[in-house]
């Protein structure tokens, strides 16, 4: 069966649980954030603006160009475009620090991109999906209300972020005790979610390997390279470029999967692409971070995750 015709279903109760669990993950990540992380962007806007342009402008544009050249099934292309429209993933902060990059810049970009996702995720996805004829045609068959997607971004990403920051400010001792358990829980939930989505489509794995496997690897590699190259080309230092690279290539795939099941009826090609991205970007990110870690003599003094 073609990927465009596959549907993965979750019961309404399971979908509600998934939404709550993702919000809990975001809450746990926000325990690490401080108001100063937003203020840092105002004090050093150039690096953050370059990074945000890579994440919200150049990454979707490059992904669209690759999809135009490769012409995968429309549902696969929609999955790639949805990933490209999502904000950065929480793992990017750890990877930036481990790679001896500018962890403070990474944290600041993650905080701002989460808020910007209210507008940028629905806009980017709708705009770039409308550029390619195949995805535009498929999108017209799906009843997608942009305001509903905005509401999902608000309730699943933004409100838990403010709640986590508020707890960290009002109850710092409690927040400190919760951070490590919440980080472990977030990884477990993410992998469980991906495994559940992939497990419902095991019989279609050969089709996926032929039509989507390599595209995910290629687009992710281009995103990591794009972030680093543009950052260096615009005058940012090596440490800052490493942070921008991870913020560009590490997406919040858990949120992407929630959107697939909430708004796209578990469209098989989209679900498999987003789920596989969630696995692969951890592999590629860790490999790249390990490579970079051995090529810098000392960690940055403002690294918060070393």
Q: How far apart are CA 155 and CA 20, in angstroms?
A: 10
* Token pair recorded at residue 245: 């690279």
pLDDT number for residue 299:
45
- Cα distances (Å, whole numbers) of residue 302 to 202, 205, 207: 44, 44, 46
Cβ-contact 293, 97 below 8 angstroms:
no
CATH fold for the domain made of 3-293 = Na+/H+ antiporter like fold (1.20.1530)
- For residue 102, is it left (φ>0), alpha (ψ between -120 and 50) or beta? beta
What's the pTM? 0.81
Q: How far apart are CA 71 and CA 65, in angstroms?
A: 10
Q: How far apart are CA 64 and CA 207, in angstroms?
A: 22
Cβ-contact 91, 155 below 8 angstroms:
no
What is the DSSP secondary structure assignment for residue 104, as one 8-state letter? H
pLDDT number for residue 53:
93
pLDDT number for residue 116:
86
Token pair 């949805």: residue: 82
Q: How far apart are CA 161 and CA 115, in angstroms?
A: 9
Q: Which is it for the CA torsion 298, 283, 119, 111, positive or negative?
A: negative
* Token pair recorded at residue 115: 């808020």
pLDDT number for residue 152:
75
Domain boundaries defined on the chain: 3-293
**Digitized pLDDT (tens) for each residue of the chain, 306 residues in all:** 555 555 555 555 555 666 777 777 778 777 777 777 677 777 778 888 999 999 999 999 999 999 999 988 888 899 999 999 988 877 888 888 888 888 888 888 888 888 888 888 888 988 998 899 888 887 776 656 667 777 777 887 778 888 888 888 888 888 888 877 776 776 676 666 666 655 655 665 666 666 778 899 999 999 999 999 999 999 989 999 999 999 999 988 878 877 887 777 666 678 788 878 888 888 899 999 999 988 764 444 444 444
- Return the bridge partners of 267, or none: 7
DSSP codes of every residue in 44-109: SHHHHHHHHHIIIIIHHHHHHHHHHHH---HHHHHHHHHHHHSPBPTHHHHHHHHTTS-HHHHHHH
Instruction: Please give the helix or strand (H or E) that residue 266 lies within, else none.
Output: none
Q: How far apart are CA 285 and CA 250, in angstroms?
A: 7
């Amino acid at each position: 069966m073609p990927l465009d015709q596959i549907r993965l279903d979750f019961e309404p109760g399971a979908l509600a649980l998934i939404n709550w669990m993702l919000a809990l993950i975001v809450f746990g990540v926000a325990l690490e954030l401080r108001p100063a992380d937003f203020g840092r962007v105002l004090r050093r806007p150039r690096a953050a603006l370059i990074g945000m342009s890579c994440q919200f402008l150049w990454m979707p544009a490059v992904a669209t160009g690759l999809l135009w050249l490769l012409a995968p099934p429309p549902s696969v292309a929609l999955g790639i475009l949805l990933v490209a429209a999502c904000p950065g993933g929480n793992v990017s902060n750890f990877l930036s620090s481990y790679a001896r990059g500018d962890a403070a810049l990474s944290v600041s970009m993650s905080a701002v991109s989460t808020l910007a996702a209210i507008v940028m995720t629905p806009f980017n996805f709708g705009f770039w999906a409308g550029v390619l004829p195949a995805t535009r045609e498929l999108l017209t068959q799906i009843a997608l209300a942009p305001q509903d997607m905005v509401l999902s971004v608000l309730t699943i990403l933004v409100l838990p972020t403010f709640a986590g920051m508020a707890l960290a400010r009002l109850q710092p001792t409690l927040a400190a005790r919760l951070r490590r358990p919440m980080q472990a829980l977030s990884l477990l939930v993410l992998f469980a979610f991906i495994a559940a989505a992939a497990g419902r489509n095991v019989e279609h794995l050969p089709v996926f390997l032929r039509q989507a496997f390599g595209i995910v690897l290629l687009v992710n590699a281009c995103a990591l390279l794009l972030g680093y190259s543009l950052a260096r080309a615009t005058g940012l230092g090596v440490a800052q470029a490493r942070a921008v690279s991870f913020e560009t290539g590490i997406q919040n795939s858990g949120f992407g999967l929630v959107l697939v099941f909430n708004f796209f009826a578990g469209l098989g090609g989209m679900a498999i692409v987003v789920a596989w991205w969630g696995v692969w970007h951890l592999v590629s990110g860790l490999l790249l971070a390990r490579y970079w870690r051995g090529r810098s003599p000392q960690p940055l003094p403002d690294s918060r995750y070393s």
